[in-house]
């Protein structure tokens, strides 16, 4: 619950109340920072269908690297559903992020196979290198650090993935070497 | 590709494709599954293609990029067919030599061959390597002979022939009858008879019916479905086509978890090709059968793999389970009768139709038929995907196929069935692997993940690991699952911190029973299994944490203290250099010491010390 709450606060932690947020005027003024054309194209691709909500959100996240508030408001409007329901779905699934992610996405597998091969030690090493906890982004916006439950490449455990690039048989020492290259 | 309008078209195409194959051609088969991708096989493939042109071998040799070949531990894996010469851990520098020696002159390159760890003998052929020798690859085997990106290759080895047979020679009832006779049990975890499930959905009244392929393979340490979806997507589509015909469904969904981007791509491409050929769409192969498939992606929720949750997710909602009945066959996606099977189940269907139910039912044990794919992972020498007949013993799986535990460590347990399963100790290693026997032992078959654990694995920590996993993944709908798992985790955490009492064990047991009894879906009902099975077989480890305040495996940090034994320390300084906290001090050549206040108990010094001077 704590996790869900913190994710929501990222979304609602503004002086704007939920009622105000859903007013169309508010959407227009806020939308200036985000290019909503891409959101509209995604909505069009799925015919504004409620049944495609998860797919729509996945595409939006792919486009913007997170779910911008403005996009969510547009989706709620077009799909004719309350924002709270939409956020309910978005916060249920782990993949979605309500805050912008860093330039590089660092993922550590914590599936059983990686766990028994020392996955938690890799998490600790990254934590101390980047000085952030899993789920957080560094202050300079360079790295977002996340954990995942099994990537299906167990033979290479423990695994660290940076921007989709797999690094297998990780050791705490290798963490510093590899992450150092991105700094 | 041209549309196949009739069955005859399909057969003609197959004949033409077979005829076009040059029997003298050599195939350089390069594994391109997720495991080998992580080993950077892409670079190897590029290099092979370069060499092909450089050595002017285009007419004699073909480079084939396949899905998972199973032996992930030894990736990047290259097999040269037709001879079947197996090369492991291939590097870019090896490519030119492989082409000039092995491909052109049939000479094996000694250093790239598999070495038997016991006899130290080099083994040249895939079929002789113990990891492969003891397998029976009926479902996964075709991965070796097709490029999953080419529907032609699937058709040329007999693909979609079972669909042809079904549409031209069998009534829907006959298909269901075959499925029932085959006694195929659902490979997703619960092991419900697939034929019976199909029959229930067929009998249900409704103008529209759906079928679903569940590719939300969420069990950590399991990647069988990934291997099939990436390596042979058309076999799944064919299985679904046969199922849809038997059940009377017109629309299907394939749901793949977000964490498998390569599987998504593979299926996406396969669906397009099947549509283009007319194998999906209207009047398939000239029959009156219409069917199409929509691909849906998950978004990271373990519980969505439960069938009612999966349906909710497909409808664009939160992937939360609901009460059954009504069962999906009665009320499924958008309220219509729906049949859900997992990837491996669908992939087995064409085989049953091709070879017949009787043939299939002869494989395996009394009540568990056929072969099953397992992912053998953890503390095991030969990690990878393995397909064996049901009934193989755990011992053979671990030692004959898996090659035992690495680094001369002692085997401790094998975990089966993912977070819903349990840990099986050494005393039960002669247990044949099938649905019934694993259940008797307090675990389950699950989807086929086998995680091997050695003496360095703490079983209380494993129980904690699964409880953490399940607490994260519980959707929170049922109070008992939401609260119960968290309370169990609190108790187990307390034990790992050395603060547990004997009464905690009783409370844990009681809580486990209640959570199992009162939860609505499979996640909650089976969530106590990791705790119960470790309590059953490894109670002494729990007691060591409680009574002696010790973690025998040296995992639980609160109970650890790293010290340097003066008499063994040579003062080499390796621990000092590697300590991330700067907690180790000492002059070169003299015994070092650990500053306990700075030490974060990461164990790096312990792992690095060559003189075993560090005690924990």
Between CA B208 and CA B219, with CA B213 as vertex, the angle to 5 degrees is: 145
Q: Which residues make beta-bridge pairs with B212?
A: B253, B340
CA-nearest residue to B451 within chain A is A113
Q: Rounded to the nearest 5°, which phi and psi values hold at B131?
A: -55, -40
Q: Rounded to the nearest 5°, which phi and psi values hold at B422?
A: -145, 180
Domain boundary among B427, B454, B481: B454
pLDDT in tens, B177-186: 999 999 999 9
At A173 the pLDDT is 84
Within-domain flag for B139: no
Which residues of chain A neighbour B300 with C-beta distances below 8 Å? 93-95, 148
Within-domain flag for B7: no
Highest mean pLDDT among A6-15, A73-82, B32-41: A73-82
Which residues of chain A neighbour B476 with C-beta distances below 8 Å? 1
- Contact A55/B334, CB-based, under 8 Å? no
- Contact A116/B603, CB-based, under 8 Å? no
Please determine, for residue A136, whether its predicted confidence score (pLDDT) is greater than 80: yes
Please check whether residues B161 and B293 belong to one and the same domain. Answer: yes
- Contact B377/A55, CB-based, under 8 Å? no
Q: Rounded to the nearest 5°, which phi and psi values hold at B248?
A: 90, 30
B168 is written with which tokens?
């031209």
Please check whether residues B331 and B376 belong to one and the same domain. Answer: no
Reported confidence tier of residue A17, pLDDT bands at 50, 70, 90:
very low
Which residues of chain A neighbour B383 with C-beta distances below 8 Å? 113, 154-155
CA-nearest residue to B70 within chain A is A155
CA-nearest residue to B458 within chain A is A116
At A1 the pLDDT is 39
Average pLDDT estimate for B40-45: 94
Reported confidence tier of residue A4, pLDDT bands at 50, 70, 90:
very low
Within-domain flag for B522: yes
A73 touches chain B (CB under 8 A): no
A166 touches chain B (CB under 8 A): yes
Nearest-CA distance from B329 to chain A in Å?
20
Helix (H) or strand (E) holding A90: helix A83-92
What's the complex ipTM? 0.89
pLDDT in tens, B402-434: 999 999 999 999 999 999 999 999 999 999 999
B358 is written with which tokens?
């009787």
Cα–Cα distance, B117 to B102 (Å, whole number): 24
| A155: nearest CB among B35, B334, B453 | B35
Nearest-CA distance from B144 to chain A in Å?
19
| B415: nearest CB among A112, A149, A168 | A112
Nearest-CA distance from B383 to chain A in Å?
5
Pairing of strands B292-297, B210-215: unpaired
Residue B444's SS3 state is: coil
Nearest-CA distance from A60 to chain B in Å?
13
A5 touches chain B (CB under 8 A): no
Residue labelled with tokens 């040059």: B22
Within-domain flag for B259: yes
Q: Name the percent of chain B lying above pLDDT 90.
A: 94
| B297: nearest CB among A55, A92, A156 | A55
Cα–Cα distance, B204 to A47 (Å, whole number): 31
A96 touches chain B (CB under 8 A): yes
Which residues of chain A neighbour B302 with C-beta distances below 8 Å? 149
Domain boundary among B548, B569, B590: B548
Please check whether residues B168 and B295 belong to one and the same domain. Answer: yes
CATH number of the domain where residue B297 is located: 3.40.50.11540
pLDDT in tens, B490-502: 999 999 999 999 9
- Contact A155/B221, CB-based, under 8 Å? no
At A3 the pLDDT is 46
> Radius of gyration (Cα) for chain A, nearest Å?
18
Beta strands in B111-225 (DSSP E): 114-115, 122-123, 210-215
Whether the upstream peptide bond of residue B517 has omega within 30° of 0, thus cis, is no
Which residues of chain A neighbour B375 with C-beta distances below 8 Å? 154
pLDDT in tens, A28-48: 444 447 889 999 999 999 999
DSSP symbol at B314: H
pLDDT in tens, B61-117: 999 999 999 999 998 999 999 999 999 999 999 999 999 999 999 999 999 999 988
Please check whether residues B349 and B495 belong to one and the same domain. Answer: no
Please check whether residues B42 and B94 belong to one and the same domain. Answer: yes
In angstroms, what CA-CA distances link B477 with B299, B481, B482?
19, 8, 7
**Alpha helix positions (H), A2-48:** 2-12, 18-22, 24-30, 36-45
Q: Which residues make beta-bridge pairs with B425?
A: B413
Within-domain flag for B466: yes
- Which of A81, A84, A111 should be substituted to probe chain B, the one whose Cβ sees the most B Cβ atoms within 10 Å? A111
- Contact A92/B301, CB-based, under 8 Å? yes
Closest CA to B147 of B226, B62, B222: B62
B536 is written with which tokens?
């059953």
Which residues of chain B neighbour A125 with C-beta distances below 8 Å? 580, 602
Please check whether residues B85 and B232 belong to one and the same domain. Answer: no
A93 touches chain B (CB under 8 A): yes
Q: Rounded to the nearest 5°, which phi and psi values hold at A18?
A: -60, -40
CATH number of the domain where residue B491 is located: 1.20.1440.230
CATH number of the domain where residue B570 is located: 3.30.70.20
**At CB < 8 A and 24+ separation, what contacts does B324-328 make?**
B327/B200, B328/B201
CATH number of the domain where residue B447 is located: 3.10.20.600
- Contact B465/A155, CB-based, under 8 Å? no
CA-nearest residue to B381 within chain A is A155
| A152: nearest CB among B260, B315, B378 | B260
Cα–Cα distance, B445 to B224 (Å, whole number): 13
pLDDT in tens, A44-92: 999 999 999 999 999 999 999 999 999 999 999 999 999 999 999 999 9
Residue B19's SS3 state is: helix
Burial class, B451, CB count within 10 angstroms (exposed 0-12 / middle 13-18 / buried 19+) = buried
Average pLDDT estimate for B25-42: 93
At A152 the pLDDT is 85
Between CA B30 and CA B40, with CA B34 as vertex, the angle to 5 degrees is: 60
At B190 the pLDDT is 85
- Contact B320/A57, CB-based, under 8 Å? no
CA-nearest residue to A90 within chain B is B318
Q: Which residues make beta-bridge pairs with A166?
A: A161
- Domain range enclosing B408: 371-454
CA-nearest residue to B311 within chain A is A51
Compute how many other C-beta atoms are within 10 angstroms of the C-beta atom of residue B578. 17
Mean pLDDT, all residues of chain B: 95
Residue B135's SS3 state is: coil
Q: Which of residues 17-46 of A touch B (CB under 8 A)?
A: none
Residue labelled with tokens 């009739």: B6
At A7 the pLDDT is 52
Which residues of chain B neighbour A124 with C-beta distances below 8 Å? 600, 602
Domain boundary among B415, B430, B454: B454
- Contact B258/A115, CB-based, under 8 Å? no
Pairing of strands A136-137, A104-109: unpaired
Nearest-CA distance from B222 to chain A in Å?
7
CA-nearest residue to B38 within chain A is A166
Closest CA to B320 of B335, B337, B308: B308
Nearest-CA distance from B300 to chain A in Å?
5
Nearest-CA distance from A183 to chain B in Å?
18
Within-domain flag for B508: yes
pLDDT in tens, B260-318: 999 999 999 999 999 999 999 999 999 999 999 999 999 999 999 999 999 999 999 99
Average pLDDT estimate for A127-147: 94
Within-domain flag for B122: yes
- Contact B218/A149, CB-based, under 8 Å? yes
At B38 the pLDDT is 86
B318 is written with which tokens?
């939160």
Count of structural domains, chain B: 5
Please check whether residues B568 and B542 belong to one and the same domain. Answer: no
A68 touches chain B (CB under 8 A): no
Please determine, for residue A19, whether its predicted confidence score (pLDDT) is greater than 80: no
Angle between the N-to-C axes of helices B161-169 and B233-247, in degrees from 0 to 180, rounded to the nearest 10: 10
Cα–Cα distance, B536 to A26 (Å, whole number): 60
Nearest-CA distance from A122 to chain B in Å?
10
Within-domain flag for B226: yes
pLDDT in tens, B164-180: 999 999 999 999 999 99
Q: Name the percent of chain B lying above pLDDT 70.
A: 100
Average pLDDT estimate for B511-523: 95
Reported confidence tier of residue A24, pLDDT bands at 50, 70, 90:
very low
Reported confidence tier of residue A8, pLDDT bands at 50, 70, 90:
low
Nearest-CA distance from B507 to chain A in Å?
24
- Contact A153/B259, CB-based, under 8 Å? no
Average pLDDT estimate for A20-25: 42
Please check whether residues B202 and B343 belong to one and the same domain. Answer: yes
At B321 the pLDDT is 96
- Contact A159/B38, CB-based, under 8 Å? yes
Please check whether residues B160 and B124 belong to one and the same domain. Answer: no
At A22 the pLDDT is 43
Please check whether residues B396 and B427 belong to one and the same domain. Answer: yes
pLDDT in tens, B133-146: 999 999 999 999 99
Please check whether residues B434 and B489 belong to one and the same domain. Answer: no
CA-nearest residue to B415 within chain A is A112
pLDDT in tens, A88-129: 999 999 999 999 999 999 999 999 999 999 999 999 999 989
- Which of B219, B295, B377, B384 should be substituted to probe chain A, the one whose Cβ sees the most A Cβ atoms within 10 Å? B377
C-beta separation of B525 from B189 below 8 A:
no
B336, HSE (Cβ side, Cα atoms, 13 Å): 17
- Contact A117/B383, CB-based, under 8 Å? no
Helix (H) or strand (E) holding B373: strand B371-378
Average pLDDT estimate for B508-531: 95
C-beta separation of B166 from B353 below 8 A:
yes
Nearest-CA distance from A74 to chain B in Å?
17
Please determine, for residue B56, whether its predicted confidence score (pLDDT) is greater than 90: yes
Please check whether residues B81 and B187 belong to one and the same domain. Answer: no
C-beta separation of A179 from A131 below 8 A:
no
Q: Which of residues 137-156 of A touch B (CB under 8 A)?
A: 148-156
pLDDT in tens, B437-476: 999 999 999 999 999 999 999 999 999 999 999 999 999 9
CATH number of the domain where residue B98 is located: 3.40.30.10
For the stretch B69-103, what's the b/e string if a residue is b when 16 or more beta carbons lie within 10 angstroms of its beta carbon? bbbbbbbbbbbbbebbbbbbebeeebbeebbeebb
Nearest-CA distance from A115 to chain B in Å?
8
At B607 the pLDDT is 86
Please determine, for residue A9, whether its predicted confidence score (pLDDT) is greater than 60: no
Q: Please state the three-class secondary structure of B472-484 as a single string.
A: HHCCCCCHHHHHH
């Amino acid at each position: 619950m704590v996790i869900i709450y913190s994710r929501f606060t990222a979304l609602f932690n503004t002086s704007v109340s939920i009622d105000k947020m859903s007013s169309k005027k508010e959407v227009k003024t806020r939308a200036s920072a985000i290019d909503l054309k891409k959101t509209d194209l995604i909505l069009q691709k799925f015919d504004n269908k409620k049944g495609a909500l998860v797919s729509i959100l996945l595409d939006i996240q792919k486009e913007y690297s997170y779910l911008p508030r403005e996009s969510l408001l547009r989706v709620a409007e077009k799909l004719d559903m309350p924002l709270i329901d939409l956020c309910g779905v978005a916060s249920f699934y782990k993949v979605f992020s309500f805050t912008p992610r860093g330039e590089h996405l660092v993922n550590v597998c914590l599936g059983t196979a990686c766990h028994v091969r020392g996955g938690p030690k890799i998490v600790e090493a990254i934590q101390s290198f980047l000085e952030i906890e899993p789920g957080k982004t560094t202050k300079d916006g360079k790295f977002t650090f996340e954990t995942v439950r099994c990537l299906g490449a167990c033979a290479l455990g423990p695994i660290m993935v940076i921007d989709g690039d797999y690094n297998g048989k990780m050791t705490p020492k290798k963490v510093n070497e590899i992450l150092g290259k991105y700094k | 590709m041209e549309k196949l309008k009739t069955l005859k078209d399909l057969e003609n195409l197959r004949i033409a494709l077979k005829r076009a194959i040059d029997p003298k051609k050599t195939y350089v088969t390069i594994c391109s599954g997720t495991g080998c991708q992580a080993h950077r096989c892409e670079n190897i493939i590029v290099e092979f293609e370069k060499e092909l042109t450089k050595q002017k071998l285009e007419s004699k040799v073909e480079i084939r990029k396949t899905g998972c070949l199973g032996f992930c531990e030894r990736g990047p894996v290259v097999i040269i067919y037709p001879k079947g010469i197996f090369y492991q851990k291939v590097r870019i520098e090896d490519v030119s030599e492989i082409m000039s020696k092995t491909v052109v002159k049939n000479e094996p390159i000694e250093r790239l061959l598999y070495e038997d760890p016991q006899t130290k003998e080099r083994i040249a052929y895939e079929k002789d390597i113990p990891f492969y020798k003891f397998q029976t690859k009926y479902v996964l085997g075709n991965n070796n002979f097709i490029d999953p990106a080419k529907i032609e290759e699937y058709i040329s080895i007999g693909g979609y022939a079972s669909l042809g047979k079904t549409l031209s020679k069998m009534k829907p009832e006959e298909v269901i009858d075959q499925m029932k006779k085959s006694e195929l049990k659902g490979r997703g975890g619960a092991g419900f008879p697939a034929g019976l499930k199909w029959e229930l959905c067929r009998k249900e009244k409704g103008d529209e019916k759906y079928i679903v392929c569940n590719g939300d393979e969420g069990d950590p340490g399991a990647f069988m479905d990934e291997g099939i979806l990436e390596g042979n997507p058309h076999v799944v589509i064919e299985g679904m086509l046969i199922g849809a015909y038997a059940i009377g469904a017109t629309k299907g969904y394939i749901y793949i978890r977000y964490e498998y981007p390569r599987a998504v791509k593979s299926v996406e491409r396969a669906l397009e090709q099947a549509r283009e050929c007319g194998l999906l769409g209207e009047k398939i192969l000239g029959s009156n059968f219409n069917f199409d498939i929509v691909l849906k992606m998950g978004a990271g929720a373990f519980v969505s793999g439960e069938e009612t949750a999966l349906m909710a997710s497909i409808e664009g909602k939160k992937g939360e389970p609901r009460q059954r009945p009504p069962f999906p066959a009665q009320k499924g996606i958008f309220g219509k009768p729906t049949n859900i099977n997992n990837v491996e189940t669908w992939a087995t269907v064409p085989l049953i139709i091709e070879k017949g139910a009787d043939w299939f039912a002869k494989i395996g044990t009394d009540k568990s038929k056929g072969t099953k794919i397992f992912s053998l992972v953890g503390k095991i020498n030969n990690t990878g995907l393995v397909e064996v007949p049901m009934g193989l013993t755990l011992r053979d799986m671990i030692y004959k196929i898996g090659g035992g535990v690495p680094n001369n460590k002692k085997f401790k347990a094998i975990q089966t069935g993912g977070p819903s399963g349990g840990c099986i100790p050494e005393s039960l290693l002669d247990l044949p692997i099938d649905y019934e026997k694993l259940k008797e032992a307090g675990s389950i078959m699950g989807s086929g993940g086998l995680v091997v654990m050695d003496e360095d694995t703490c079983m209380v920590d494993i129980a904690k690991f699964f409880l953490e996993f399940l607490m994260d993944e519980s959707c929170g709908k049922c109070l008992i699952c939401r609260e119960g798992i968290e309370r169990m985790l609190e108790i187990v955490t307390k034990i790992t911190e050395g603060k547990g009492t004997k009464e905690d064990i009783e409370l844990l047991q009681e809580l486990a029973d209640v959570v199992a009894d009162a939860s609505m879906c499979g996640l909650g009902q089976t969530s106590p299994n990791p705790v119960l099975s470790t309590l059953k077989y490894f109670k002494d480890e729990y007691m060591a944490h409680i009574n002696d305040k010790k973690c025998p495996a040296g995992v639980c940090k609160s109970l650890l203290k790293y010290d340097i034994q003066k008499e063994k320390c040579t003062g080499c300084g390796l621990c000092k250099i590697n300590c991330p906290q700067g907690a180790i001090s000492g002059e070169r050549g003299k015994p070092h010491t650990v500053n306990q206040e700075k030490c974060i108990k990461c164990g790096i010094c312990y792992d690095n010390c060559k003189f075993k001077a560090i005690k924990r």
